[in-house]
Amino acid sequence: MSDALTYRAAGVDIDAGNALVERIKPLVKRTSRPEVMGGLGGFGGLFNLGGKYREPVLVSGTDGVGTKLKLAQELGRHDTIGIDLVGMCVNDVLVQGAEPLFFLDYFATGKLDVDTATAVVGGIARGCELAGCALIGGETAEMPDMYPPGEYDLAGFTVGAVERADLLSGDAIMAGDVVLGVASSGPHSNGYSLVRKIVERAGRPLDLDLGGVKLADALMAPTVIYVKPMLELLKAQPVHGMAHITGGGLKENIIRVVPDGLGLALDAASIELPQVFDWLQREGKVAREEMWRTFNCGVGFTVILPREAASAASGLLAKHSLASRVIGEVVKAAGDERVHIG
């Protein structure tokens, strides 16, 4: 029948999906761990906890990359946005002391472009390598009419594990502890709705030189994955708490792990705004308080620990090429304002 319909005619190309799976198999293989059972193609990813833990607590996290994805698509830069996706998830479970074990992704588009999807998954695989977790599965959804041509959406999911006795709850945090701020690579994956507004208002000067780095490159720098250095630090120093600086910025993230009755006194002078944030603040005429509660302002992760341990912790992180410095301390809460940046 000449008018017979097929799935391909309706906009879904199963052959393209199969081609993508073949393209990404070697990328996924590089992320494998001994605990992974089976390969791609099953209905569920298998991971054997075995005898690795005595009292394992599983810690899960899910996230996307916000509207940084829009910028990636406009610039045609698909190879690093997957690193952002992994970073936003694994850095979150890390906060509770968990080692990320495995990762799954969700990639949705109107019409599957195998080259673009392969580049995206390649970034996800690279992020998993940096985090030491296995990419054990995912979903590629081709949904005609749901997305404009050339656009796609991303989400990620991770599961980590930590010994119950080593779980970081923040309960050990006490007045007098210091906050060690660990450098970010830029805005990471937060605040991009504001970033994009500022870039548009400034006339999209994406080739603007910011100290030897183009604005486009500074904005697309992938999220730092802090997993391996922080897991090493947890074994070496008495860490009382950690925080991943994401949406809500410095103002709203660190306090999430601090017990009631305590607050934070952060020293604004110790937080040097990298050039990309300085440009965003000037061009957008963004108030300082808005910067603190929107962006990481150059501090992508924080560690709360005794003052006497800060120097050794900073030295350990430096061996992993992570710059850090004390940016404040834990104090007794005074009134309703638990976070003061001054």
- Domain residue ranges of the chain, discontinuous segments joined by +: 14-166, 178-341
pLDDT in tens, 114-156: 999 999 999 999 999 999 999 999 999 999 989 998 899 999 9
Query: For residues 291 and 275, what is the distance between their CA atoms, to the nearest angstrom?
Result: 14
Residue 264: CB atoms within 10 A of its CB come to 24
Residue 146, Ramachandran bin (φ over 0: left; ψ between -120 and 50: alpha; else beta): alpha
Which of these ranges, 29-43, 119-133, 138-152, 215-229, has the smallest mean pLDDT?
A: 29-43
Query: For residues 226 and 28, what is the distance between their CA atoms, to the nearest angstrom?
Result: 21
pLDDT in tens, 300-315: 999 999 999 999 999 9
Residue 193's SS3 state is helix
pLDDT of residue 16: 84
Question: Does the pLDDT value for residue 39 go beyond 80?
Answer: no
Q: Are 182 and 324 in contact (CB under 8 A)?
A: yes
Query: For residues 35 and 12, what is the distance between their CA atoms, to the nearest angstrom?
Result: 34
Question: Does the pLDDT value for residue 34 go beyond 50?
Answer: yes
For residue 334, what are its two tokens?
């005074």
The reply to whether the predicted model has a pTM over 0.85 is yes
- What does the mean pLDDT of the chain come to? 94
pLDDT of residue 336: 80
pLDDT of residue 1: 47
Question: Does the pLDDT value for residue 27 go beyond 90?
Answer: no
Question: Does the pLDDT value for residue 191 go beyond 90?
Answer: yes
Q: What fold characterizes domain 14-166?
A: 60s Ribosomal Protein L30; Chain: A; (3.30.1330)
Look up residue 164 and give its DSSP letter.
Answer: G
For residue 130, what are its two tokens?
């940096």
Q: Which residue in 158, 298, 286, 164 sits closest to 218, CA to CA?
A: 298
Query: For residues 233 and 238, what is the distance between their CA atoms, to the nearest angstrom?
Result: 9
For residue 160, name the pLDDT band (cuts at 50, 70, 90).
very high
Q: Give Cβ neighbours of residue 142 (< 8 Å, ≥ 6 apart).
A: 11, 12, 13, 16, 17, 109, 110, 111, 112
Could you give the strand order of the β-sheet that contains 134-142, starting from the edge strand earlier in sequence? 56-63, 152-163, 99-109, 134-142
Q: Are 271 and 181 in contact (CB under 8 A)?
A: yes
Pairwise pLDDT comparison (22 vs 314), residue with the higher score: 314
Q: Are strands 152-163 and 99-109 parallel, antiparallel or unpaired?
A: antiparallel
pLDDT in tens, 250-288: 999 999 999 999 999 999 999 989 999 999 999 999 999
Q: What fold characterizes domain 178-341?
A: Phosphoribosyl-aminoimidazole Synthetase; Chain A, domain 2 (3.90.650)
Question: Does the pLDDT value for residue 210 go beyond 70?
Answer: yes
| Stretch 53-75: mean pLDDT | 96
pLDDT of residue 2: 57
Q: Are 261 and 332 in contact (CB under 8 A)?
A: yes
> What would the DSSP string read from start to end of 137-158?
EEEEEE-TTTS-TT-EEEEEEE
Q: Which residues of 1-11 are buried (b: 16+ CB within 10 A; e: fewer)?
A: eeeeeeeeeee
For residue 192, what are its two tokens?
């991009």
Q: Are 84 and 181 in contact (CB under 8 A)?
A: no
Q: Which residue in 341, 172, 333, 335 sits closest to 249, CA to CA?
A: 341
